[in-house]
């Protein structure tokens, strides 16, 4: 099982096989939403009927008590939870139902979870985010699927599985699921203060990552220098482990040398979640890009992937256009015409739809209809040119405004340096300005001075490294990026660290 294989599984309907018994708690009453909003970690204000979110309860110290799905209907709310934690969750919630109009009961039903990228119309399903992509939860009903995810696959993609991607001993911030279950803008909840302090300061102490090596579950992981860099939280197979990597070493795309039973091994950890959460539209666009690559060497296979992209988002015009090209090359002209008609319903001024339809009609010998479509393509082309001209003008105006704002900031920073030549913010600001206008040598001067004044200024290392690349000083850029990554990870500033590592990987 590779990361790429896991990625492909997000594109097709699949049953999530968890081997877990699930329980459902039902909450009725006018105060239910307000009650749950105060008792759980996620924000329920945006949850619409027949949908849900992953949610949690944590204790005062920020440790996870339980993770579950919260679902809404027109009449009530449901909590879908691992049966092992259902009684404790029910008891905890009952403690706080005092003057509230809330009735909590057990709801007997058979629960199924599906990765389901395409939109479904039935109202008896709950739309949620499952395994990092759109999915559904059903009560007692089965959907037609093309695949079934294993427990490991489901957990790695982001489905909550106790012992794999969360435990009761963990701070919620040490599980990558905190990105799904925590809202710091919703209002107060138990443990919020601890979580906010962690996330608003240096971030999590450890970052879960997938390493393609075999380790004993619960063991410590060391690098070549004998420094402990993490702890194995789950051994998935003979060549795959989840390791909680210490903040200092958790830089994306950074190669680590680790000690294994077979000696020293070089590895690049894949940090969890493996993939960003995607909407249906974003997933369809991602699949369109993949299909476009496949098209270069296998048109029939590409056609299948373009069709999948359209199933996920029927309004993906680029996928419709590209599938039309594939159908034409495969000689499926009637299907191609049907597809172009659908595209014209989405965009009546689509030049490609009229052009392709004209070609397909010509191939079928329908000359008059083909000529009519050709003339419509010409008219649509003129409209497109007008739209492109307006867009270009808007972009030029936006660029002018941004340039004027840059110049305003430059003047402000120069005025500051006239008063205090050693002002750190002004030196950095002028360095960043010079980099943006491609005056790399001047940028280098300002940024080197910034680091002389403050050797721990992470972002200054990043912009200095980029300026050195612009000045064709590759070796110096590599040195600066390495120094900057060390500074940033020590401070817990992983965003600049990750960006510097990306730059470094490109250079090396």
Cβ-contact 215, 233 below 8 angstroms? no
If asked whether residues 347 and 298 sit together in one domain, one would say yes
> 126-143 burial string, b = 16+ CB within 10 Å, else e?
bbbbbbbbbbbbbbeeee
CATH number at residue 439: 1.25.40.10
If asked whether residues 159 and 126 sit together in one domain, one would say yes
If asked whether residues 157 and 86 sit together in one domain, one would say yes
If asked whether residues 167 and 310 sit together in one domain, one would say no
321 in a structural domain: yes
If asked whether residues 13 and 134 sit together in one domain, one would say yes
If asked whether residues 301 and 265 sit together in one domain, one would say no
Beta strands in 206-315 (DSSP E): 206-211, 220-222, 228-237, 240-246, 256-260, 263-267, 270-271
CATH number at residue 266: 2.40.30.110
If asked whether residues 286 and 267 sit together in one domain, one would say no
CA torsion 486-488-489-494 (nearest 10°) is -140
Per-residue pLDDT of the chain in tens (508 residues, 90 and over written 9): 667 777 777 788 889 887 789 999 999 999 999 999 999 999 999 999 999 999 999 999 999 999 999 999 999 999 999 999 999 999 999 999 988 999 999 998 899 999 887 777 666 789 998 767 788 999 988 888 888 888 888 888 888 999 889 999 899 999 999 989 999 999 889 999 999 998 888 788 889 998 988 888 889 999 989 999 999 998 888 788 899 999 889 888 888 999 888 888 899 998 888 877 788 899 899 999 999 999 999 999 999 999 999 988 999 999 999 999 999 999 999 999 999 999 999 999 999 999 999 999 999 999 999 999 999 989 888 888 888 888 888 888 888 898 888 899 999 999 999 999 999 999 999 999 999 999 999 999 999 999 999 999 999 999 999 999 999 999 999 999 999 999 998 888 888 999 999 999 888 7
Give 307's Cβ-side CA count (13 Å radius).
Answer: 10
CATH number at residue 138: 3.30.1360.120
The residue range of the domain holding 476 is: 420-507
- pLDDT at residue 424, rounded to an integer: 94
Report the C-alpha gap between 397 and 390 in whole angstroms.
Answer: 11
- pLDDT at residue 246, rounded to an integer: 92
148 in a structural domain: yes
How many beta carbons lie within 10 A of that of residue 465, not counting itself?
27
Instruction: From 221, 239, 271, give the residue that closes a domain.
Output: 271
If asked whether residues 317 and 351 sit together in one domain, one would say yes
- pLDDT at residue 362, rounded to an integer: 92
371 in a structural domain: yes
Cβ-contact 254, 211 below 8 angstroms? no
399 in a structural domain: no
466 in a structural domain: yes
If asked whether residues 323 and 306 sit together in one domain, one would say yes
Nearest to 137 by CA among 129, 146, 145: 129
The two counts, helices (H) then strands (E), for the chain are 17, 17
If asked whether residues 26 and 164 sit together in one domain, one would say yes
pTM: 0.79
Instruction: From 271, 292, 327, give the residue that closes a domain.
Output: 271
355 in a structural domain: yes
- pLDDT at residue 243, rounded to an integer: 92
Instruction: From 138, 166, 181, give the residue that closes a domain.
Output: 181
Number of domains forming the structure of the chain: 4
If asked whether residues 246 and 133 sit together in one domain, one would say no
If asked whether residues 81 and 129 sit together in one domain, one would say yes
Cβ-contact 272, 179 below 8 angstroms? no
189 in a structural domain: no
Beta strands in 287-376 (DSSP E): none
- pLDDT at residue 158, rounded to an integer: 84
- pLDDT at residue 472, rounded to an integer: 94
410 in a structural domain: no
């Amino acid at each position: 099982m590779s990361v790429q294989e896991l990625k492909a599984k997000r594109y097709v309907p699949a049953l999530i096989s968890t081997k877990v018994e699930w329980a459902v708690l039902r909450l009725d009453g006018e105060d239910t939403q307000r009650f749950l909003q105060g008792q759980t970690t996620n924000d329920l204000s945006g949850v619409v009927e027949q949908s849900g979110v992953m949610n949690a309860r944590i204790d005062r110290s920020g440790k996870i008590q339980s993770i579950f799905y919260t679902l809404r209907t027109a009449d009530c709310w449901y909590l879908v939870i691992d049966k092992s934690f259902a009684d404790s969750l029910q008891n905890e919630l009952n403690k706080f139902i005092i003057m509230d109009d809330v009735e909590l009961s057990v709801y007997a039903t058979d629960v199924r979870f599906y990765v389901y990228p395409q939109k479904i119309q039935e109202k008896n399903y709950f739309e949620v985010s499952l395994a990092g992509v759109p999915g559904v939860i059903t009560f007692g009903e089965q959907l037609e699927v093309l695949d079934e995810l294993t427990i490991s696959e489901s957990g790695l993609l982001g489905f909550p599985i106790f012992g794999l991607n969360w435990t009761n001993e963990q701070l919620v911030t040490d599980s990558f699921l905190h990105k799904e279950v925590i809202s710091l803008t919703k209002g107060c909840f138990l443990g919020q203060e601890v979580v906010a302090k962690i996330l608003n300061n240096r971030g999590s102490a450890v970052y879960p990552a997938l390493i393609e090596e075999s380790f004993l579950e619960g063991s410590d992981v060391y690098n070549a220098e004998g420094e402990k860099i993490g702890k194995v939280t789950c051994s998935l197979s003979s060549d795959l482990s989840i390791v909680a990597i210490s903040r200092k070493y958790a830089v994306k795309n950074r190669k680590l040398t680790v000690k294994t039973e077979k000696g020293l091994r070089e590895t690049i950890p894949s940090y969890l979640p493996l993939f960003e959460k995607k909407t249906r539209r974003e997933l369809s666009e991602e699949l369109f890009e993949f299909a476009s690559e496949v098209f270069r060497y296998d048109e029939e296979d590409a056609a299948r992937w373009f069709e999948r992209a359209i199933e996920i988002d029927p309004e993906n015009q680029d996928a419709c256009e590209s599938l039309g090209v594939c159908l034409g090359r495969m000689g499926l002209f009637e299907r191609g015409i049907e597809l172009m008609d659908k595209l014209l319903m989405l965009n009546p001024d689509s030049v490609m739809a009229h052009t392709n339809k004209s070609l397909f009609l010509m191939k079928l010998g329908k000359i008059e209809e083909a000529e009519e479509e050709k003339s419509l393509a010409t008219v649509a082309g003129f409209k497109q040119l007008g739209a492109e001209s307006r867009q270009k003008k808007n972009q030029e105006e936006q660029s002018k405004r941004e340039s004027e704002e840059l110049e305003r900031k430059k003047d402000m920073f120069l005025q500051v340096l006239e008063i205090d030549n050693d002002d750190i913010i002004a030196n950095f600001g002028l360095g960043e300005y010079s980099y943006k206008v491609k005056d790399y040598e001047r940028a280098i001067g300002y940024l080197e001075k910034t680091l002389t004044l403050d050797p721990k200024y992470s972002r200054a290392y990043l912009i200095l490294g980029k300026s050195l690349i612009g000045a064709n000083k590759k070796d110096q850029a590599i040195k600066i990026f390495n120094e900057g990554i060390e500074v940033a990870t020590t401070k817990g500033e992983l965003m600049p660290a990750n960006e510097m590592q990306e730059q470094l990987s490109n250079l090396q």
